[in-house]
């Protein structure tokens, strides 16, 4: 197993016990910060015994914990390309001033954003943008609970660019009706975070059986849906307290919409004009003088931005 990185070693294991899966998920989400951990802290933070941690590390092919941590430190140095990145990692310290909640939370958000940018494969990112922009494919968007809110944001933003998008909502009783016409040409963009919703897995399984393309946005390399995904985007959601942070996931979704714009044709302008007329007819938005002026220039701005992205 020499030369394999940590995630590759974990994936090479044929089967994980529930306890091992907890440690594997912890390693995936906390890399590269795991170089600061020891057996005791890994045990506490992953919710398993110290013996389980030691056995799992041995099963991964390391002689002992010292070899494991030494190898991870080597991987960190090789992955962090610039001196400032390495310096930031070494200077990572827990923030103890409990009065500065805003600063602490923003620190978590920035860490998640940096991790997302560094870990996202640019080729894979552009491939996803191309797929979700294709109007010939029916795009389904799925998320449960908080992930539904992210899915709704994605649905609204993409609605400016293309037709044939279905947001699969939380009403499980009507899901079979929405899925009855799914074909292998369709795409499921699914979003899931702990605690992973069982309904999302069931829906993804339906798409997989039809041979449809599945794109997964999740927080772990070892999400329960990973084995079904054709393309997986991993975005950390570590938060300051009991709550997860979804800023990085939201930023990635917004970035995908911007990237998808370059693959859209000129029909988006006609689509935008029709939408504006409907908004006006249904009095969707409050119309002040400034908003009326802004409405007239919005399509022109879209054209400018589309040209800018192409350049």
205: left (phi over 0), alpha (psi -120 to 50) or beta: alpha
Cα separation, 115 vs 238, in Å, equals 11
Is residue 115 within 8 Å of residue 219, measured between CB atoms? no
Cα torsion angle, 192, 194, 197, 203, sign: positive
User: Backbone phi, then psi, for 188, in 5-degree steps?
Assistant: -110, 120
Cα separation, 51 vs 62, in Å, equals 15
Statement to judge: residues 201 and 283 lie in one domain: no
Helices 101-119 and 247-261: crossing angle, nearest 10°? Answer: 40
- Check residue 306 and give its pLDDT: 57
In a domain, 116, yes or no: no
Residue 223, pLDDT > 90, answer no
Instruction: Render pLDDT for 259-271 as a digit per residue (tens, 0 to 9).
Output: 999 998 888 888 8
Statement to judge: residues 148 and 220 lie in one domain: yes
Question: Tokens 């975070």 label which residue?
Answer: 193
Is residue 112 within 8 Å of residue 236, measured between CB atoms? yes
Residue 89, pLDDT > 70, answer no
User: Would you place residue 243 in the very low, low, confident or very high pLDDT band (cuts 50, 70, 90)?
Assistant: confident
Statement to judge: residues 243 and 129 lie in one domain: yes
The enclosing domain of 145 has a CATH number of: 3.40.50.10490
User: Would you place residue 76 in the very low, low, confident or very high pLDDT band (cuts 50, 70, 90)?
Assistant: low
Q: Is 164 helix (H, G, I), strand (E, B) or coil?
A: coil
Statement to judge: residues 159 and 275 lie in one domain: no
Mean pLDDT (the chain, rounded):
84
Cα separation, 234 vs 216, in Å, equals 8
Statement to judge: residues 126 and 244 lie in one domain: yes
Statement to judge: residues 238 and 133 lie in one domain: yes
Residue 122, pLDDT > 70, answer yes
Rounded mean pLDDT, 106-110: 90
Instruction: Find the domain containing 231 and state its range.
Output: 122-261
Is residue 148 within 8 Å of residue 169, measured between CB atoms? yes
Q: Which of 261, 278, 299 is the last residue of a domain?
A: 261
Statement to judge: residues 56 and 128 lie in one domain: no
Residue 93, pLDDT > 50, answer no
pTM of the model: 0.70
Cα separation, 203 vs 90, in Å, equals 42
Cα separation, 174 vs 163, in Å, equals 21
Cα separation, 33 vs 92, in Å, equals 9
Q: Which of 79, 112, 132 is the last residue of a domain?
A: 79
User: Would you place residue 153 in the very low, low, confident or very high pLDDT band (cuts 50, 70, 90)?
Assistant: very high
Instruction: Render pLDDT for 277-309 as a digit per residue (tens, 0 to 9).
Output: 898 899 888 876 565 555 556 656 666 655 554
Cα separation, 245 vs 194, in Å, equals 12
The enclosing domain of 56 has a CATH number of: 1.10.10.10
């Amino acid at each position: 197993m020499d030369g394999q990185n940590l995630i590759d070693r974990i994936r090479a294991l044929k089967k994980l016990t529930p306890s091992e899966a907890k440690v594997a998920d912890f390693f995936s989400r906390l890399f590269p910060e795991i170089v600061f951990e020891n057996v005791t802290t890994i045990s506490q933070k992953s919710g398993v015994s110290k013996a389980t941690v030691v056995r799992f590390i041995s099963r991964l092919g390391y002689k002992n914990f010292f070899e494991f941590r030494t190898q991870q430190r080597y991987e960190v140095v090789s992955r962090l390309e610039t001196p400032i990145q390495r310096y930031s990692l070494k200077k990572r310290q827990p923030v103890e001033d409990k009065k500065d909640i805003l600063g602490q939370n923003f620190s978590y958000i920035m860490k998640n954003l940096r991790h997302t940018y560094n870990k996202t494969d640019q080729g894979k990112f552009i491939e996803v943008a191309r797929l979700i922009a294709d109007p010939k494919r029916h795009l389904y968007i799925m998320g449960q609970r908080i992930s539904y809110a992210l899915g709704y944001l994605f649905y609204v933003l993409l609605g400016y660019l293309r037709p044939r998008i279905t947001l699969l909502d939380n009403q499980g009783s009507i899901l079979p009706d929405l899925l009855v016409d799914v074909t292998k040409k369709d795409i499921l963009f699914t979003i899931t975070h702990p605690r992973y919703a069982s309904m999302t897995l069931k829906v993804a399984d339906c798409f997989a059986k039809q041979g449809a393309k599945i794109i997964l946005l999740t927080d772990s390399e070892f999400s329960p849906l990973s084995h079904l995904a054709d393309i997986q985007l991993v975005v950390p959601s570590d938060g300051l307290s009991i709550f997860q942070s979804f800023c990085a996931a939201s930023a990635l979704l917004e970035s995908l919409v911007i990237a998808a714009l370059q693959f859209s044709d000129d029909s988006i302008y006609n689509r935008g004009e029709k939408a504006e007329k409907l908004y006006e007819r249904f009095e969707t938005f409050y119309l002040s003088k400034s908003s009326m002026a802004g409405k007239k220039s919005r399509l022109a701005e879209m054209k400018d931005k589309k040209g800018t992205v192409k350049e």
